[in-house]
């Protein structure tokens, strides 16, 4: 966990949260083999329903959208499209992620992307005092409440998981 003797490196996501005076807790799991979101949740001793993955999509209109869903659930593309008023959306190709967002697969955060995209978080997040998501680097997660996150990025809540 974050409090091991290991010094946690500050990520840009953490710096942005601090800039906006948004309270957060950093978690480090880089000294494990955890790859999937469910594995990360287990290593951190967290309820997987509170640990969210960041997914980047493109709509038929060409607009990009960011969705956060719990790690053990999938993004329902039809519900996601409805949530943002699009006819259809699909996941972007892996090779497009870094140039578009500045993040690599497995380290993508809704905070600190190269440019802001409309973001929708699964409505289940409202049931928790705080959620966890990538701190913008593989091996790092941040935990913060939705009110704190609102200080840094604009987002909507909607039922987008399946």
Which position has the token pair 């939705």?
A: 146
Which residues lie across from 66 on neighbouring strands? 56, 119
Q: State which residues form the domain around 49.
A: 12-158
In a domain, 141, yes or no: yes
Domains identified in the chain, total number: 1
- pLDDT on residue 5: 44
Backbone angles phi and psi of 127, in degrees to 5 = -80, 0
Whether 7 is covered by a domain: the verdict is: no
Residue 6 maps to a domain = no
Residue 134 lies in a domain: yes
Q: Is 88 inside a domain boundary?
A: yes
> How much is the pLDDT for 6?
54
Whole-prediction pTM: 0.92
Q: What is the CATH number of the domain that holds 28?
A: 3.90.960.10
Q: pLDDT per residue over 33-59, tens digit each?
A: 777 888 899 999 999 999 999 999 999
Higher pLDDT pick, 36 / 137: 137
Is 3 part of a structural domain of the chain? no
Residue 1 lies in a domain: no
């Amino acid at each position: 966990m974050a409090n091991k003797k290991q010094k946690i490196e500050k990520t840009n996501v953490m710096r942005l949260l601090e800039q906006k005076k948004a309270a957060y807790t950093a978690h480090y799991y880089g000294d494990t083999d955890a790859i999937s979101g469910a594995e990360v949740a287990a290593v951190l001793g967290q309820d997987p329903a509170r640990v969210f993955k960041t997914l980047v999509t493109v709509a038929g209109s060409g607009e990009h959208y960011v969705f956060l869903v719990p790690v053990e659930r999938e993004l329902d593309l039809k519900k996601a499209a409805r949530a943002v008023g699009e006819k259809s959306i699909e996941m972007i190709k892996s090779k497009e992620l870094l140039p578009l967002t500045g993040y690599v697969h497995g380290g993508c955060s809704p905070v600190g992307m190269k440019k802001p995209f409309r973001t929708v978080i699964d409505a289940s997040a409202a049931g928790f005092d705080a959620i966890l998501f990538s701190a913008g680097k593989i091996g790092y997660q941040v935990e913060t409440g939705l009110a704190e996150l609102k200080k840094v990025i604009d987002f909507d809540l909607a039922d987008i998981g399946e």
